[in-house]
Amino acid sequence: MTNGSSLEAVTPAFSIQLVTFSAEDPGGWDHVLDLARAADAAGVDRLVVSDHVAFGENLEAYARPDLGGIQGGKQPTGPDGHWLEPLTFLSVLAGITSHCRLYTGILIAALRRPVVLAKSASTLDVLSGGRLDLGVGVGWQREEYEAAGLRFEGRGHLLNHTLEVCQTLWREQRAEHSSERLSFEAIHMMPKPLQPGGVPLWVSGGLNKRVLERIARFGSGWIPWAADLRDPVAGMAKVREALAAAGRDAAGFQMTSGLPVVKGSNGEIDMQRSLEKVPALVEAGQTDFRAMLPIPGDPAAATDYLSCWVEEFRKVVGR
């Protein structure tokens, strides 16, 4: 059984999240584009963006794990918050960067029609030189599904269907699919993604039976969520078991989590102490380290600041 893409040995990656949302109109997004350019110049490995298409007004649902939220979590904007569509935004980044991988963390993939998502992602992968990673998940908001004309119940099955169709269209020259939701045959979709096997899919979710099955079936990587955020290393062991049970080799499989930032007595981040735990986490299976850092707003200062982190991170992981 093959995974979501044919990735080789994984080099540990240093990533940052771009804040592509705002509680109020920020008056423009050049500051985010400037940060992306600075990160690319500094050698940051991945730029991460998130997703929401629309909002209802029941934002308290974000704190409900039974709906896909996170215990104690709080939605960072109100219903009229400004959120940039991630694939559109990443297409802009593809044109102004050359090194960073472009990553959705996460895309609520089932909100998009599968054939359109497959085409959009394939196009972006080609135009970026094979730099796209799709982190995908089910989300937590009923109203967002209803606004798209979709049922919130069964959204996990809907996500599976979306991923299956995308991978079929990415891999097959003359594609066909048959299910209760969709049937087609003799369908051609070009161009294919540059990455062998299609765009890598990183599956997000707490590790219940359904998520483990989704990871084993489609995933090139796992994005911990909910209770598994507290101990992603233990979660990675469960993922390996699920991959083995599905007949998959765990070699090359990826996992992202936060970089464990440590502050010194002065309240500032201690870079060396923050990086001390990285080798053990790499050994345990973490391949992507997402750093939450006080990055300067000035582009030149941001490049210098991030360059120091990238340099030290690479020393620690032996790059």
Closest-CA residue to 161 (of 117, 121, 125): 117
What tokens does 78 get? 């109100």
> Would you list the DSSP string of the chain?
---SS---SPPPEEEEE---EESS--S-SHHHHHHHHHHHHHT-SEEEE---S---S-GGGGG-GGGT--TT---SS-TT-EE--HHHHHHHHHHH-SSSEEEEEEE-GGGS-HHHHHHHHHHHHHHTTS-EEEEE---S-HHHHHHTT--STTHHHHHHHHHHHHHHHHH-SSEEEE-SS-EEEEE---SPPSSTTSS-EEEES---HHHHHHHHHH-SEEE--GGGGS-HHHHHHHHHHHHHHTT---TT-EEEEE----B-TTSSB-HHHHHTTHHHHHHHT--EEEE-----SSHHHHHHHHHHHHHHHHHHHT-
pLDDT, mean over the chain? 95
Is residue 2 situated within a structural domain?
no
CA quadruple 111, 112, 117, 118: dihedral positive or negative? Answer: positive
Is residue 4 situated within a structural domain?
no
- pLDDT of res. 44: 98
- pLDDT of res. 299: 97
Is residue 311 situated within a structural domain?
yes
Is residue 179 situated within a structural domain?
yes
> Model-level pTM?
0.94
pLDDT tens digits for range 17-63: 999 999 999 999 999 999 999 999 999 999 999 999 999 999 999 99
Average pLDDT over residues 234-263: 95
pLDDT of residue 289 exceeding 80:
yes
Which domain CATH number covers 116?
3.20.20.30
pLDDT of residue 4 exceeding 50:
no
Is residue 283 situated within a structural domain?
yes
pLDDT tens digits for range 153-169: 999 999 999 999 999 99
Is residue 284 situated within a structural domain?
yes
Bridge-based pairing of strands 254-258 and 221-223 is parallel
How many CA atoms lie less than 13 Å away from 204 in the CB half-sphere?
A: 24
Is residue 303 situated within a structural domain?
yes
Domain that holds residue 145: 13-317
pLDDT of residue 7 exceeding 50:
no
Average pLDDT over residues 165-187: 97
pLDDT of residue 267 exceeding 90:
no
Number of folded domains in the chain? 1
- pLDDT of res. 166: 98
Average pLDDT over residues 204-228: 96
- pLDDT of res. 2: 44
Is residue 26 situated within a structural domain?
yes
- pLDDT of res. 5: 42
Residue type, 195: Q
- pLDDT of res. 69: 94
- pLDDT of res. 319: 85
